[in-house]
Every structure is written in structure tokens, then in C-alpha cells.
Amino acid sequence: MDVLVVGGHGKIALRLLRLLAARGHRARGLIRKPEQAADIQAVGAVLVVGDLEVEPTLEPYVRGADAVVLAGMAVAAWDESADWLDALRTLLAGNRALMGEWAAGLPLSYTPPEATYLAWLGGVAHDESAALLERTAKVKLSEGADFSAGTGVDTATFVRLNFATGPEVLRSLPNRLTPALAGISGL
């Protein structure tokens, strides 16, 4: 396999290049600074020098590659994303609370997500409940039965609610779902 690792001089990139080369792959490390060449070659990788910020096209670098790894971008995401991640966690916690308060007043079971943005509403006794709710409430849900294949869990009366959205959109969901759910037989 031919793998181009962009940001090839970073700590993670060098480890990846060493691993790929040791397993017999053609590991290519793309760097901007020629003075870093010895480090790329020391791990058994093929040296590629270029600057993606000034090149008009990536084509010469990715030609022949079976995979491209953007190692520098991953490190930036890990090192510089704390504020973004904190804001996302706060948003999702607020979304979970809002939907939990709404669901507490329903004659349905509600399973909030433990760490994500996917909740379950159970006891929606209608064939293709999610499709019906999409038509009547204009809210896209997923059929519970789609998630139980190969398990012993019966999720036929469940719908899955994805609430990874902004609070403005989320606040409109209960107002649209409540009347639609009330119209389904069994509620």
C-alpha cells in the first residue's frame, strides 16, 4: 500500500511512517522543510518535500497514493480544540436536559443518551412510526427496528431522536412532535 502522510515530521506522523515502513508499505512523508529530511528517512519513509499552502494543486503529491493521512491536522484538532469541545459538550448537555423535560410529560418511555446526542422514544405503537412522524410533525427520526437486527432486543415500537442541533431548532421539536405523537393510536 502507498500511504502519503501530510505533516510528516510531527511526532504522530513519524510514528505512523515508521510503522507503515516496518510493515512493508510504501510510506511517504510530506514535509515543507528540507532540513527535516533525515528524520523522515531515518524511519524508513520516502521523503516528499512540498508546501500545500502555496501549491496550486495536490495532485502531484497524492498521485499513486492508496491513502492520504493528514497528520498535522489531527494534532491541531487534538491540541487546539478544547474550547470548541467544551462548547459542544455544553450544547449537548442543554439539549439532553431540554428533551428530557419534554419527554417527562409524555406517556412514552424515554431513554436519554448517556454521552451522545441519540435518544430513544419507546411505546410508539404504529407501523413505520418514524416515517409517520416525519410526514406529520416534519421531524426526521429513525425507525427503532433498523437498529435491532441480529439482537434479541425488540425495538419495533421505538424511534431514535438525533438532537445534535442548535437550541433554536431543538426548541421547535416538542411543539411539532407532541401533537403528532398524540395522534398516533396507543397514546
**Is the confidence at residue 185, as pLDDT, over 80?**
no
Q: Is residue 187 domain-resident? A: no
Q: Is residue 137 domain-resident? A: yes
Domain boundary among 80, 96, 117: 80
What are the C-alpha distances in Å from 114 to residues 92, 101, 120, 155? 11, 16, 11, 18
Same structural domain, 41 and 94: no
Query: pLDDT tier at 76 (50, 70, 90 boundaries)?
Result: low
Q: What is the CATH number of the domain that holds 54?
A: 3.40.50.720
Strand partners, 49: 31
Number of domains in the chain: 2
Same structural domain, 89 and 24: no
Same structural domain, 106 and 174: yes
pLDDT in tens, 1-56: 999 999 878 888 999 999 999 999 999 999 988 999 999 999 999 999 988 778 77
Q: Is residue 90 domain-resident? A: yes
Tell me how far apart the alpha carbons of residues 162 and 170 are, in angstroms, rounded to a whole number: 10
Same structural domain, 36 and 101: no
Same structural domain, 67 and 141: no
Same structural domain, 166 and 120: yes
Same structural domain, 99 and 159: yes
Same structural domain, 109 and 154: yes
Q: Can you tell me the mean pLDDT for 61-85?
A: 81
> What pLDDT, on the 0 to 100 scale, is given for residue 9?
84
pLDDT in tens, 92-102: 888 889 999 99
Same structural domain, 94 and 168: yes
Q: What is the CATH number of the domain that holds 172?
A: 3.90.1150.10
**How much of the chain exceeds pLDDT 90, in percent?**
33
- To the nearest 10°, report the CA torsion of 150, 153, 158, 160: -60
Domain boundary among 80, 95, 121: 80
Residue 137 is part of which domain span? 84-182
Altogether, the residues listed in the chain come to a count of 187
In angstroms, the first-to-last Cα distance of the chain is 56
Q: Provide the sign of the torsion angle of the four alpha carbons 178, 180, 127, 169, taken in this order.
A: negative
Integer-rounded Cα radius of gyration of the chain: 25
> What pLDDT, on the 0 to 100 scale, is given for residue 38?
94
Domain boundary among 80, 97, 129: 80
Tell me how far apart the alpha carbons of residues 179 and 168 are, in angstroms, rounded to a whole number: 19
